[in-house]
Amino acid sequence: MDKGYEKERFESLSIKRSVVKKFRKYSKSISKSNSMTLLSMVEFFERNELSPEDDLKPGLMEIENRIKKRINAVIAIIKDIEKHQTKPTLAMLQSLFMNVKPKPKILIEKSFEQLERERINKEFLLKFQERNEFQFKKDNEDLNNGEQTPN
């Protein structure tokens, strides 16, 4: 039963059969009784001051234009924020970090031969260092063995 209208009596209207079928199908689709569907429709038209003969397209275009103007206003606000807040803040942060000089990474194009020479040089230096360390240890051992330290 319809809430708030339980004690009211039913009245009848004369409506064409095809219109009744359409109306009942619509009522089922929105899950309301026929009375509540018709009441909702009448209240909608009254609340929005519309008539079923009114053409909504010009009104919708007006709404669309208002929305576009608002979107443009939001874009302008965002650009203003960026111009007057974000960029100056970024400039201040950059000026703070200007004293700190990061090590620049320089990419140099090298040929395969240059890279191979560098690899060989590194290997040679490593072997040379290892040999020097080994020779140093050996010389120290010889010195220690040649000299008897008193106990």
* pTM (predicted TM-score): 0.38
Q: Are 87 and 79 in contact (CB under 8 A)?
A: no
pLDDT band for position 148 (50/70/90)? low
Chain centroid, CA 82 distance in Å: 18
Asked which of 19-28, 58-67, 93-102, 107-116 is least confident by mean pLDDT, the reply is 93-102
15 pLDDT higher than 80: yes
Q: Are 52 and 45 in contact (CB under 8 A)?
A: yes
Q: How far is CA 104 from CA 100, 108, 109, in A?
A: 12, 12, 16
Phi, psi at residue 150, to the nearest 5°? -70, 140
149 pLDDT higher than 90: no
